[in-house]
Amino acid sequence: MSLKKGLIQVYTGDGKGKTTAALGLALRAAGHGFKVYIIQFMKGWPHYGELKAVEFLPGVTLRQFGGPHFVDRNNPSAEDIRMAREALQEARRAMLSGEYDIVILDEINVALDFGLIPLEEVIALLEEKPEGVELVLTGRNAHPEIIRRAHLVTEMKEVKHPYREGISARKGIEF
Segment 75-97 shows an average pLDDT of: 97
Percentage of the chain with pLDDT > 90? Answer: 83
Chain centre to alpha carbon of residue 150: 14
Asked if residues 175 and 53 have their Cβ atoms less than 8 Å apart, the reply is no
Segment 94-111 shows an average pLDDT of: 98
Q: What are phi and psi of 65, to 5 degrees?
A: -130, 85
Domain 8-13+25-165 is found in CATH 3.10.450.50: no
Evaluate if residue 2 carries a pLDDT over 80: no
User: Which residue type occupies 55?
Assistant: E
Evaluate if residue 71 carries a pLDDT over 70: yes
* Interatomic CA distance for residues 94 and 88, integer angstroms: 10
DSSP state of 37: E
Mean pLDDT of the chain: 95
* Interatomic CA distance for residues 3 and 51, integer angstroms: 25
Confidence at residue 1, expressed as pLDDT on a 0 to 100 scale: 62
Evaluate if residue 60 carries a pLDDT over 90: yes
